[in-house]
Structure 1
Amino acid sequence: MRLVRLLLLTVLSFTSVAALADDAVAVKRLTELLNQAQTITARFSQLTLDAGGTQLQESAGQMVLKRPGLFRWHTDAPMEQLLVSNGKQVWLYDPDLQQVTIQKLDQRLTHTPALLLSGDVSKIQENFEITHNEGGNVVDFILKPKAKDSLFDSLRLSFRNNTLNDMQLIDSIGQRTNILFLNVKMNQPQADSQFTFEIPAGADVIQE
């Protein structure tokens, strides 16, 4: 449920002119990198650690993203979950619980890490303060939500050789979630049908 909990952000304004200038440069660079890929497929490896570095959870799976706003994030067994968006709503399916949670893709949900990669990159600056560091073939972006009630304090998004490589989320208590992307492929045709979800017979449905 962690990926779903991250779908909760609102907006806060800037006060520093210097920060605005730095943010604009970082947004321009990040937009360039994100816009080069209209679709992305990748394997992912996810590791969550507490503030002291103790491992809390480890998982892996497959993701498919397609602009604008379409994504499919499938976590492998034994902690299997499927997160799907058709650009209008989001389904979270837990096969062990036989439970589907459905949420409307409203303004709050568009400010999330998954949709940052698949959504409207022109709106990034509305939702995050952004800085970046570029060295050699690696570019790191630090995104800090402008929301007061965000469930993560910062998001680092890294590209290697202009290709998505990894991201790290840190929450208010220091818990870190590291996601490494493997076998990344961009701009391959992706059928829209994989971004809809048919509710299995007998599954419990929670509408939020």
Structure 2
Amino acid sequence: MRTIYKGLLALLGSVMLTGALLLPVQTAHAAVSEQQQAANKLSELLSHTQTITGSFSQLTLDSTGTQLQEAAGKMVLQRPGLFRWHTDPPLEQLLVSNGKKVWLYDPDLLQVTVQKMDQRLTHTPALLLSGDVSQISENFTITYKEAGSIIDFILTPTAKDTLFDTLRLSFRNGVINDMQLLDAVGQRTNILFMNVKVNEPVAASQFVFEAPEGVDVIEDEE
């Protein structure tokens, strides 16, 4: 179970040819326009948010709907590329990014892994909420639907080398409400955000990590 969650944190991406050539040019242009409209709308929502703090609950299910893992914790994010993602015991882990490096600390294993930040939005969902919004349309095909105060965005990675097949972001009254990731084997992770506050001052110390004494530090150079 811990391996499943660690993999998720290390994240914390049929065309029908028959008849396709018969589609009018206007339809293709409309599709591009809708994609750009969705990307612009999502970028606008994200760019207005410089900091995010709150708590989360997380549920991971396999392709049959069987629960694999349940967790909860707190998060702090700041644009560009800074985040702190702390999962409560009994599966306690801490993921910290200063925009250049990422520290994954596992208190039970007395181990911290240090990696260079992967700037690809398709590899780090937390970076999608805190990273460079100008890259969104380059990394994803985006659609959205709006119902009252709720806007749902479906993001499909354009690259093949991704850790998820689709990602749904849901906003309520302009604030992130929940996220769902679906991978290639049908595993689904639902993350619900609670007590969310945006654009409040955040201490720089939130994005600094110092390994406790006696902890093994593993430097991943890749």
TM-score of the two chains, using structure 1 as the length reference: 0.91
Decide which of 192, 196, 202 is 2:214's aligned counterpart.
202
Decide which of 111, 133, 138 is 1:121's aligned counterpart.
133
Distance 1:33 1:170, change over 3 A: same
> 2:167 corresponds to which letter in structure 1?
L
Unpaired runs of at least 5, structure 2:
1-5, 14-27
Matched residue SS, 2:184: coil
Cα deviations by residue, 1:69-105 (Å, 9 ceiling, x for unpaired): 1100000000000000001110000000011011111
Cα deviations by residue, 1:140-177 (Å, 9 ceiling, x for unpaired): 00011112121210000000111110000000111100
The total of aligned residue pairs comes to 201
1:6 alignment partner in structure 2: 11
Decide which of 48, 53, 58 is 1:41's aligned counterpart.
53
Decide which of 172, 190, 205 is 2:184's aligned counterpart.
172
The whole-number CA distance in structure 2 between the counterparts of 1:19 and 1:102 is: 42
Are 2:79 and 1:67 equivalent residues in the alignment? yes
2:3 alignment partner in structure 1: none
Check whether the contact 1:111–1:127 (CA below 8 A) recurs between aligned residues: no
Are 2:197 and 1:192 equivalent residues in the alignment? no
Cα deviations by residue, 1:25-59 (Å, 9 ceiling, x for unpaired): 11111011112211110110000001111100000
> 1:46 corresponds to which letter in structure 2?
Q
Decide which of 78, 85, 95 is 2:97's aligned counterpart.
85
Over the matched positions of the two proteins, sequence identity in percent amounts to: 69
1:13 alignment partner in structure 2: none
The whole-number CA distance in structure 1 between the counterparts of 2:97 and 2:10 is: 15
Deviation at 1:21, TM superposition (A): 2.3
The whole-number CA distance in structure 2 between the counterparts of 1:52 and 1:110 is: 25
> 1:72 corresponds to which letter in structure 2?
R
Deviation at 1:18, TM superposition (A): 4.7
Structure ID, larger Rg: 2
Decide which of 26, 46, 49 is 2:38's aligned counterpart.
26
Check whether the contact 2:55–2:196 (CA below 8 A) recurs between aligned residues: yes
2:171 alignment partner in structure 1: 159
Unpaired runs of at least 5, structure 1:
10-15
